[in-house]
């Protein structure tokens, strides 16, 4: 017996077997069970999400010998012939190959005649947007006044190309991309049923490459099984897809986290030996940064089945949320500009180095690990660092969540020395007027509440590099960067060169 590809072998034969599209299935099920059937349905969505599959199941539901129902029997001759593609009253047309008006007229000549066997004559027109304007005009008349025994099931990946007159005469259902986890679950079920040795990470790689299309995922699964000689491993799938080893991307982001430009450039040099597409590499970096950001906000989002989950969690602890957002934004802008660089590797290096250059020196990462618990009060007690720097002082102030004058005082102080529970601060002379006994006492109480131990504060009036000043420097650097980026915008360049335009102010 000839081999049947997985995408055909595992095509759903009824609505419960469908993966995703619950909003569409619910509407169709209710319509079938309550006899509220429209004469024309339009299914839209990207490739491989189930448009024609749903249309074929709907055709079975309409003509099953057991009666109209959302659950066709699957055993009668009608169900069997529709599944095998031989049912006489299901007319399937690929509009991409029959675009001429003559083809459409030939197709519609027999609409007036009753179905040969079933209750309804069903016209399934795939990629309907490919029809010509004259073909749509020929179809429109039938859609306006269809015979009671005819149903039209239209499918398209590009509904914007359909005339409004056609759209208004159809019930439209927009099929969504299938979520990654649902594709993984389906692949896992299929490969288990097929009794093929496999690794879980390989399924995730295939699902990610499918980009929301279950049919693409099954086609890739077929290809991967053949590539691996009957086995499925993450290494083989990476090789087949030509995708990057995730460990290399993790190394790049680790270099950002540790502020290590030497190692960063070495890792880029290692990547260059594999002759990668650096836009793809940048996409992988952005994807990893997104995962880190999600874990920082909602730690439960980490996928424990992902082999890199532990390292991702460590990076989420090591990089501050602000830095993750900054890296991501710089990466997005760099992705836009990368095709303009003289040489891809050099352009990628500049994007990554820009992340380090604009990384503020005043922030330290949040800690996602479990806090230390004081058993007597069951209150989280932060660990007091043995030594605190200008950067960590700024982060401590953010944690304290000070307000009003106390916040103003703390922001304009520099931590000169920390010994035991004593804090030695310097207040810039420019701000001596904000030093009051009440504000100093309020700052002391906030530290004591935070660390759950008595604290002593000593403040001297002298030159200081304060968190407020550091933040202003960061903002000024960011503003200069944004000014340069705006100056390079094609529209701005055009207006300056051709219309003598000038930039007055960049807010």
Ramachandran angles phi, psi of 233, nearest 5° = -125, 155
What pLDDT, on the 0 to 100 scale, is given for residue 349?
92
Mean pLDDT check: name the lowest of 149-153, 243-247, 295-299, 432-436.
243-247
Interval 125-129 mean pLDDT: 91
What is the band of 11 on the pLDDT scale with cuts at 50, 70, 90? Answer: very high
Tens-digit pLDDT profile for residues 101-114 = 777 777 777 888 88
The pLDDT of residue 365 is above 50: no
CATH class of 389-507: alpha beta
The pLDDT of residue 464 is above 80: no
Report the alpha-carbon distance of residue 428 to residue 413 in Å, rounded.
7
Angle at 497 between CA 496 and CA 500, to 5 degrees: 55
Report the alpha-carbon distance of residue 235 to residue 253 in Å, rounded.
21
Mean pLDDT check: name the lowest of 167-181, 374-388, 467-481.
374-388
- Tell me, what DSSP letter sits at residue 157? S
The pLDDT of residue 66 is above 50: yes
What is the band of 27 on the pLDDT scale with cuts at 50, 70, 90? Answer: very high
What pLDDT, on the 0 to 100 scale, is given for residue 220?
93
Domain boundaries of the chain, sorted by first residue:
6-174, 180-241, 246-357, 389-507
What pLDDT, on the 0 to 100 scale, is given for residue 337?
87
What is the band of 373 on the pLDDT scale with cuts at 50, 70, 90? Answer: very low
Interval 140-169 mean pLDDT: 90
In a 13 Å sphere around the CA of 36, the CA atoms on its Cβ side amount to 8
CATH number of the domain at 6-174, please?
Answer: 3.40.50.300
HEC string for 109-120? CCCCCCCCCCCC
What is the band of 72 on the pLDDT scale with cuts at 50, 70, 90? Answer: very high
What pLDDT, on the 0 to 100 scale, is given for residue 504?
67
Mean pLDDT check: name the lowest of 209-213, 307-311, 469-473.
469-473
Report the alpha-carbon distance of residue 462 to residue 198 in Å, rounded.
66
What pLDDT, on the 0 to 100 scale, is given for residue 380?
42
Interval 329-358 mean pLDDT: 89
What pLDDT, on the 0 to 100 scale, is given for residue 379?
38
Is 317:365 a contact under the CB 8 Å cutoff? yes
Mean pLDDT check: name the lowest of 69-78, 277-286, 379-388.
379-388
Is 94:129 a contact under the CB 8 Å cutoff? no
User: What CATH architecture is 246-357?
Assistant: Up-down Bundle (1.20)
The pLDDT of residue 384 is above 60: no
The pLDDT of residue 309 is above 60: yes
What pLDDT, on the 0 to 100 scale, is given for residue 67?
92
CATH class of 180-241: mainly alpha
Tens-digit pLDDT profile for residues 210-252 = 989 999 999 999 999 999 888 898 888 888 887 777 778 889 9
What pLDDT, on the 0 to 100 scale, is given for residue 367?
46
The pLDDT of residue 15 is above 90: yes
**Which of 388, 395, 389 lies closest to 410, judged by CA?**
395
State pTM to two decimals. 0.61
Which residues are 1's β-sheet partners? none
The pLDDT of residue 90 is above 80: yes
The pLDDT of residue 374 is above 70: no
What is the band of 473 on the pLDDT scale with cuts at 50, 70, 90? Answer: low
Interval 431-443 mean pLDDT: 89
- % pLDDT > 70, the chain: 87
Interval 147-165 mean pLDDT: 92
- % pLDDT > 90, the chain: 36
Give long-range contacts, CB 8 A cutoff, 24+ apart: 270-275.
271/244, 272/345
The pLDDT of residue 360 is above 80: no
What is the band of 505 on the pLDDT scale with cuts at 50, 70, 90? Answer: low
Helix, strand, or coil here: 495? helix
């Amino acid at each position: 017996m000839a081999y049947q590809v997985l995408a055909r072998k595992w095509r759903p034969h009824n609505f419960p077997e469908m993966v995703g599209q619950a909003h569409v299935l619910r509407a169709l099920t209710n319509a079938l069970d309550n006899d509220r059937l429209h004469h024309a349905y339009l299914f839209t969505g990207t490739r491989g999400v189930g448009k024609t599959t749903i249309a074929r199941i709907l055709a079975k539901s309409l003509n099953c010998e057991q009666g109209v129902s959302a659950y066709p029997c699957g055993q009668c001759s009608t169900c069997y012939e529709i599944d095998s593609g031989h049912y006489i009253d299901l007319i399937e047309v690929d509009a991409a190959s029959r675009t001429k008006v003559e083809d459409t007229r030939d197709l519609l000549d027999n609409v007036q005649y009753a179905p040969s066997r079933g209750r309804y004559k069903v016209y399934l027109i795939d990629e309907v947007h490919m029809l010509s304007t004259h073909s749509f005009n020929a179809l429109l008349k039938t859609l306006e006044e269809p015979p009671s025994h005819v149903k039209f099931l239209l499918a398209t990946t590009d509904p914007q190309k359909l005339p409004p007159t056609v759209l208004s005469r159809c019930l439209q259902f927009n099929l969504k991309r299938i979520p990654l986890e649902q594709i993984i679950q389906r692949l896992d079920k299929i490969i288990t049923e097929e009794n093929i040795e496999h690794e879980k990470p390989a399924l995730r790689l295939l699902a990610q490459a499918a980009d929301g299309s279950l049919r693409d995922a099954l086609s890739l699964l077929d290809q991967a099984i053949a590539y691996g000689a009957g086995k499925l491993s993450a290494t083989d799938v990476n090789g087949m897809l030509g995708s990057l080893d995730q460990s290399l991307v993790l190394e790049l982001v680790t270099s950002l986290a540790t502020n290590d430009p030497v190692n960063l450039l070495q890792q880029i040099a290692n990547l260059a030996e594999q002759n990668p597409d650096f836009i793809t590499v940048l996409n992988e970096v952005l994807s990893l940064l997104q995962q880190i950001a999600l874990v920082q906000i909602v730690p439960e989002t980490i996928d424990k089945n992902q082999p890199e989950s532990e390292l991702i969690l460590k990076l989420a602890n090591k990089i501050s949320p602000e830095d993750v957002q900054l890296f991501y934004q710089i990466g997005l802008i760099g992705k836009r500009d990368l095709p303009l660089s003289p040489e891809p590797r050099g352009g990628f290096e500049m994007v990554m180095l820009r992340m380090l250059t604009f990384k503020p020196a005043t922030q330290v990462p949040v800690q996602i690990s479990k806090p230390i618990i004081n058993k007597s009060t069951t209150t989280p007690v932060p660990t007091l660092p043995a030594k605190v720097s200008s950067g960590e002082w700024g982060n401590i102030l953010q944690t304290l969540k000070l307000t009003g004058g106390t916040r103003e005082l703390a922001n304009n102080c520099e931590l000169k020395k920390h010994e035991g529970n004593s804090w030695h601060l310097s207040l810039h002379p420019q701000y001596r007027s904000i030093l009051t006994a009440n504000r100093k006492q309020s700052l002391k109480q906030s530290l004591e509440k935070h660390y759950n131990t008595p604290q002593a504060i000593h403040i001297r009036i002298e030159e200081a590099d304060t968190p407020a000043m550091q933040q202003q420097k960061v903002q000024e650097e960011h503003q200069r960067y944004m000014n340069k980026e705006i100056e390079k915008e094609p529209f701005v360049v055009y207006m300056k060169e051709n219309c003598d335009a000038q930039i007055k102010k960049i807010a």
